[in-house]
A and B are shown apart, each in its own frame.
Chain A
Amino acid sequence: MSDAVLVRSDHLCKTYPDGHVTALVDVNLRIGRGEYVAIMGPSGSGKSTLLNLLGALDRPTSGEIIFDGQPLSTLRDLDRFRAEKVGFVFQSFHLLPTLTALENVQIPMFEGRLSAAARARRAAALLDVVGMAHRLDHVPGQLSVGERQRVAIARALANDPVLLLADEPTGNLDSRTAADILALFDQLHREHGKTIVMVTHGQDVAERAQRILRMRDGRLLEP
């Protein structure tokens, strides 16, 4: 059933023009709608490159990504696609330091149609989902690292994307905080039906996912 597949990649290759080693070689994968997938592999194995391509941050050198039946190469406005369909969570959170939690979550919403008041309401609701309702008016500097990642996750959910892409989301967290954040991803997967692709180094982190993809030297290893 093709509509059970949310993202598919066909013979995906990526080379960087600066002469570095080929980042991705002939990657073929399928990620089901509502699936929770972890990507593991050593540094430089192409995990982040793959994540960037899946999130339309970058275009492949060759090959194709088909998202929800739509080849990304046919889209002229990748920014818009990204704004509507994908939410990114980063290892170092990347919140804007001068904005409060409530304001940070609203940043992606500027591209949508909500009024300023509706943006604030929606941001407050999302912060409630990630358990940050009590910290709306705090700036990142006043929050613990775990709390910052929660705010960043709320921001990734701002435009209600179908796909959440997370690049080492627990890489900067201690194990207890990491467990809380992973529980939050579980909840988003289970209760909110989000499709999640998470890049990680940790076996224990990856085991939270339904499926683990392993990469080495730009290739996807057969399971």
Chain B
Amino acid sequence: MYFATFILKNIVRRRLRSMLTVLGVAIAVGAAVALLGIADGFERSFLSLYQQRGVELIVVRAGKAERSTSFLDERIAERLRRLPGVAQVMGGLVDAVEIPGSGLQAVLVQGWYADSPLFDALRFVSGRRFRPDESHVAVLGSVIARNLGKKEGDAVSLYGEDFQILGVFESFNHFENGCVVINIRDLQRLLGVGNKVTGFQVVVEPAPNKQALVDRLRGEIEALTDDRGHRLPLSALPTADAVSTTSQLRLIKAQSWITSVIAVVIGSIGVLNTMLMSVFERTREIGILRAIGWRRRRVVRMVLAESLLLSLAGAVVGILFGLALTFALSRVPMAAGYVEGTIAPSVLLGGLAIAVLVGLLGGVYPAWRAARLLPTEALRHE
């Protein structure tokens, strides 16, 4: 017989209790994995939105806590384009709307120029993009189109006005598939912001030392001044920084970390309770094991192996549960634009790490108690 077989038999012997403990750990790990996975997927998706287009810098109004409410004069684009090393500057205006009757509460609306290179990365499944002179027209990402049940030729109501759908596109990016894109002139008018944009995405020219070029441009952009010599209120952030410091993302991350910590605590207490009870119940048995020659160390190994096995089983069930949860969430219209439906392997490994931590935290004290039992005391426990 292997030692592992013995451990397994001990677990199976208290079937119901082991199953309940596994379930508890599974729920904890599953919740943590799902939340961390969603936050991670959100960040990667967001990042790819820029990286796939080669965007190195995001230029927004300096000093704004909430970047989506930044407003900059669209003519700054020309100043940016003139900087040596800049290949492309893409301005855009962003807002979030509620679409009446759809149940969708925060649909991203992008205002793009009709000739924007941003369109180059989109593949039109049906219809076409809008022309500069067209108003009250929209193109929809495939996910939002599906969730709204709209297709080319239908109308969609935005800000109380009807927009005709010219086409439906498929983006490389899941996030973008949940967006509605309209003519920036329409969005500027609807928001009453004149000729303002939210910010600019800057693509730089190929260079042997790209990092140095990006750093230099960053300094130059932030040093730009207006005709009267006043510095323009610009902040140029490297893409990765811009994404990771997004306030919504920070909030989601913080929430998922807090949930994970709570999961570890609850899971550990569950395992601790189970193992402590099982050590107390087996007082005599542990005494017998010591009497017939087991060392303390082996008793410790037995208890720790049992608690680790319980929590690892919980991790496996929990990871499946977390995967199922995110997949299900990605099918729910409300969340589909934000949740990708898959979880990165690194997050799944994180789930396993949580389980190991839970197993150790929940097993150490019972193992110590078990090792401290004197064989004679244990034997008298009849």
Q: Identify whether the interface residues of B are mostly helix, strand, loop, or mixed.
A: helix
Do A108 and B294 have beta carbons less than 8 Å apart?
yes
A107 touches B289 (CB 8 A): yes
Residue of B nearest to A115 (CB): B2
Q: Which of A82-107 contact B (CB under 8 A)?
A: 82-84, 86-88, 90, 92, 94, 96, 98-99, 102-103, 106-107
Whether B292 and A88, one on each chain, are in contact in the complex, defined by CB atoms closer than 8 angstroms, is: yes
* Contact present for B295 and A80 (CB under 8 Å): yes
Say yes or no for A221: interface residue by CB 8 A criterion.
Answer: no
Assembly CA distance A92 to B382 (angstroms): 10
Is A99 a contact of B291 with CB atoms below 8 Å?
no
> Are A110 and B294 in contact (CB-based, < 8 A)?
yes
Chain-B contact segment, one of A52-60, A142-150, A181-189:
A52-60
Check A111–B1 contact: CB distance below 8 A. no
Q: Is B107 an interface residue (CB 8 A)?
A: no
Main secondary structure of the interface of A (DSSP, over half): helix
Is the pair B292, A155 in contact by a Cβ cutoff of 8 Å? yes
Contacts of B376 in A (CB 8 A): 52, 57-58
Q: Is A83 a contact of B2 with CB atoms below 8 Å?
A: no
With A57-B375, A57-B376, A99-B9 given, is the CB distance from A106 to B291 under 8 Å?
A: no
Considering the complex, which residues of chain B in the window 218-239 have a beta carbon less than 8 Å from any beta carbon of chain A?
none
A120 touches B1 (CB 8 A): yes
**Residue ID in chain B nearest A89 by CB atoms:** B292
By beta carbon, the residue of chain B nearest A93 is B288
Chain B residues with Cβ below 8 Å from A77 are 295
Cα-based distance from A58 to B287 in the complex (angstroms): 12
- Interface positions, chain B 276-300, Cβ under 8 Å from A, are 284-285, 288-296, 298
B115 to chain A: closest CB distance in Å? 73
Instruction: Report the minimal beta-carbon distance from A121 to chain B, rounded to whole angstroms.
Output: 12
CB contacts (< 8 Å) of A200 on chain B: these are: none
Taking A58-B376, A92-B382 as contacts, is the C-beta distance between A103 and B294 under 8 angstroms? no
Chain B nearest CB from A174 CB (Å) reads 21
Are A83 and B375 interface neighbours, CB within 8 A?
Answer: no
A90 to B290, CA, bound (A): 13
Given contacts A58-B374, A99-B9, contact A111 B284 (CB under 8 A): no
Q: Which residues of the partner chain A approach B374 to less than 8 Å between Cβ atoms?
A: 58
Give the interface of B toward A (CB within 8 A): 1-3, 5-6, 9-10, 12-13, 284-285, 288-296, 298, 374-376, 379, 382
Other A-B pairs, 11, CB within 8 Å; known A77-B295, A108-B292, A108-B294: A55-B291, A58-B376, A79-B290, A79-B293, A82-B291, A82-B292, A92-B382, A96-B288, A107-B294, A111-B294, A155-B292
Q: Which residues of A contact B (CB under 8 A)?
A: 52, 55, 57-58, 77, 79-80, 82-84, 86-88, 90, 92, 94, 96, 98-99, 102-103, 106-108, 110-111, 116, 119-120, 155-156, 158-159
